[in-house]
């Protein structure tokens, strides 16, 4: 759907999720991420960039697993430490995973996906048309109730900082894995909150599309 149509539907309160494509189980297991793969960090930094032309080709389960681990995975099991920092280790930002078959939330502990809505929310994650057909749109959501020790006025900027760190982890993973990605803030917050069924304490922060690029290989 093109941007103008999305803007018009948004104004009418009619920008909505699509029926799911395929079946979504309540829990989706992810393979164990392979932490010995990947290019040197400096090479990934050299290649990091935003891309906006995606093929619809689904991401392999291994890729999805490693991508989510890079974003928010547990890298220090004794402390439950994550790959991205958060203020006072609040770990208030969750990664939602919009796939054609459903909307999931990534659970770093068991490293799996929990079904949130059996619908295709991708279209609602951004005004740009490529978000509808790219295989994956991530949505970063802050839970303000998880930040009781952070002064109320600082919760929002701190959550954005944490989401930015997670998004950059995804950028670097994508650079290393030959995938395209772009972080995005241009979306209809009302429509997306509704489509995701967010609670009052939950705040939409950013979205991020991931996929094989048109000129970067893949089927
Ligand atoms: C907070 C933030 C919001 C952004 N929102 C969008 C967006 O809605 N759509 C988009 O295509 N790119 C978006 N971008 C990506 C920027 O346009 C991109 O990072 C910038 O043009 C620099 O390009 P580069 O990432 O390739 O270096 C956003 C970037 C940031 C940091």
**d(Cα 126, Cα 2) in Å, to the nearest integer?**
11
Q: 134 CA distance to ligand 1 centroid (A)?
A: 17
Ligand 1 nearest atom to the CA of residue 51, by list position: 26
Structure confidence at residue 24 as a pLDDT band (50, 70, 90): confident
Q: 50 CA distance to ligand 1 centroid (A)?
A: 7
Taking CA atoms only, the protein residue closest to ligand 1 atom 19 is 50
Q: 114 CA distance to ligand 1 centroid (A)?
A: 28
* Lining residues, ligand 1, CB within 6 Å: 49-50, 52, 128, 182-186
Taking CA atoms only, the protein residue closest to ligand 1 atom 17 is 50
**d(Cα 9, Cα 201) in Å, to the nearest integer?**
26
Q: 32 CA distance to ligand 1 centroid (A)?
A: 30
Whether 141 and 64 have beta carbons less than 8 Å apart is answered as no
Ligand 1 nearest atom to the CA of residue 127, by list position: 8
Q: Which two tokens stand for residue 28?
A: 């989706």
What pLDDT score was predicted for residue 25? 87
Cα distances (angstroms) measured from residue 8 to each of 18, 121, 187, 209: 17, 18, 13, 22
Average pLDDT over residues 158-174: 98
What pLDDT score was predicted for residue 23? 83
Question: Which one, of 175, 195, 62, lies nearest residue 117 by Cα?
Answer: 195
Please tell me whether residue 36 adopts helix, strand or coil conformation.
Answer: coil
Q: 202 CA distance to ligand 1 centroid (A)?
A: 23
Average pLDDT over residues 6-23: 93
What pLDDT score was predicted for residue 219? 38
Taking CA atoms only, the protein residue closest to ligand 1 atom 22 is 50
pLDDT tens digits, residue range 99-153?
Answer: 999 999 999 999 999 999 999 999 999 999 999 999 999 999 999 999 999 999 9
**Ligand 1 site-directed mutation target among 183, 188, 189, 207, most atoms within 8 Å of CB:** 183
What are phi and psi for residue 65, nearest 5 degrees?
-60, -50
Question: Which one, of 147, 125, 145, lies nearest residue 134 by Cα?
Answer: 125
pLDDT tens digits, residue range 191-217?
Answer: 999 999 999 999 999 999 999 999 874
How much of the chain exceeds pLDDT 70, in percent? 99
pLDDT at 218 over 60: no
Q: Which residues contact 125 (CB under 8 A, 6 or more apart)?
A: 98, 131, 137, 139, 184, 187, 192, 207, 209
**Ligand 1 site-directed mutation target among 45, 50, 53, 130, most atoms within 8 Å of CB:** 50
């Amino acid at each position: 759907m093109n941007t103008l149509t999305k803007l018009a539907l948004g104004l009418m309160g009619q920008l909505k999720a699509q029926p799911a494509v395929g079946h979504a189980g309540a829990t989706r297991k992810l393979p164990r991420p392979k932490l010995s793969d990947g290019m040197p960090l400096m090479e990934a930094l050299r290649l990091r960039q935003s891309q906006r032309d995606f093929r619809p080709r689904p991401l392999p389960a291994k890729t999805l697993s490693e991508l989510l681990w890079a974003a928010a995975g547990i890298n220090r099991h004794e402390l439950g430490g994550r790959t991205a920092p958060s203020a006072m280790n609040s770990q208030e930002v969750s990664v939602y995973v919009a796939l054609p078959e459903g909307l999931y939330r990534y659970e770093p502990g068991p490293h799996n996906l929990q079904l949130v809505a059996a619908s295709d929310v991708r279209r609602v994650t951004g005004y740009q048309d490529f978000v509808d057909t790219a295989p994956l749109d991530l949505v970063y959501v802050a839970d303000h109730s998880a930040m009781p020790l952070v002064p109320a006025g600082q919760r929002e900027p701190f959550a954005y900082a944490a989401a930015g760190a997670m998004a950059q982890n995804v950028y670097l993973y994508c650079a290393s894995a030959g995938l395209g990605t772009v972080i995005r803030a241009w979306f209809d917050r009302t429509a997306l909150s509704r489509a995701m069924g967010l609670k009052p304490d939950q705040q939409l922060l950013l979205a991020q599309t991931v996929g094989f690029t048109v000129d970067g290989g893949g089927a």
